[in-house]
Amino acid sequence: PRLREQALQWHGTLSVAIYLRPHEQASPEYDEVLVTIHELHAGIESLGKCRLIISLVYGLDPATTPIEFDTLYPINALRNIALLQATTPLVMVIDIDFVPSRHFWQYLTDNSRYAALITSAHESLHVWALVSLELHEGYLPLPETQEEVARGLTNASVVVAEAYLNPAAHMPVGIQEWLLKNEIYGPIEASEAFEPFVLGSREKLPLYDERFRGYGWDKTTHAAQLRKEGFSYYMLPFHFVVARYHQPTPTAVRMFGDGEEQGDTLLRMRMEWLYNQFLAELEGRTYNLPQISKY
């Protein structure tokens, strides 16, 4: 349902990587899952608005994989697979539960604006940080316009994504300033913790480091590489992406715990070490980042 909702709102090319866990591959319903994916693809394509590219990614079986870490959710590998299958000059990297605002694609592809965005992305290394929001009232429809966002912010049904868990990740977009803008603006200051979803050049954006699995530090490392390589963050007026709030995923709970379950301390320590290792590599005179799978 989330992919369908995203595809119905987007009138351009949409490249998606779908992860199939080992138990799903072994399930009696596996063939039905493939049929459902095929029918979704055919249904979206038949509307003639969104070109949907789906890549299936098969998870490793923990029973036959020597290193348990290799079986964790490969979030950055999924992002890279979707990016590598994309064909457009500009790419917008978002998670599958986020839906673009109404007419976002039409705004970007206005002839003169699209040409200017491509030039800025290719020649000046501009990236555009996306205003990313969460709807916290499940009975309400997702906001589709900036005016609906403003009303939702007033009654707190809409908040900036991760506002309660990791506010530094998306808060620097400056939601109140954004509400007042009607032109592209920037650059905006990018702190070390700022890790927005971005729009940028498919050719210029680095891929995501695939050593980062599970939950945490996956986009932070990408943002660090953008800063290191001279990218600048700008903002688009009017448009945004929004998701329905959901409880922390099992992957997130394993990393950080929740009210009832303690997180995996050793896994968190490993990921923190890996993040610091990435930053140290990034500061080297020459670096070979990101690290990606040979497959």
Q: What is the pLDDT of residue 295?
A: 59
Query: CA separation (Å) from 79 to 130, 149, 246?
Result: 16, 27, 21
Q: What is the pLDDT of residue 294?
A: 67
Dist CA 92 CA 14 (whole Å): 9
- Cα torsion 188, 77, 162, 195 to 10°: value is -20
Query: CA separation (Å) from 23 to 3, 59, 233?
Result: 21, 9, 41
With vertex at residue 291, the alpha carbon angle to CA 95 and CA 275, rounded to the nearest 5 degrees, is 75
Q: Block means of pLDDT (10 residues each) for the chain, length 295 residues?
A: 93 97 91 96 96 96 92 95 97 96 96 96 98 93 97 95 78 91 94 93 97 92 95 97 89 83 89 95 89 78
Dist CA 178 CA 211 (whole Å): 34
Question: Reduced to 3 states, what is the DSSP secondary structure of residue 73?
Answer: coil
- Residue in the structure block whose two tokens are 């009303």: 151
**165-202 burial by CB neighbour count: b if 16+ within 10 A, else e?**
eeeebbbbbbbeebeeeeeeeeebebeeebbbbbbbbe
Question: Reduced to 3 states, what is the DSSP secondary structure of residue 156?
Answer: coil
Q: What is the pLDDT of residue 236?
A: 97
Kindly report the pTM of this predicted structure: 0.93
Q: What is the pLDDT of residue 247?
A: 82
Contact 242, 98 (CB under 8 A): yes
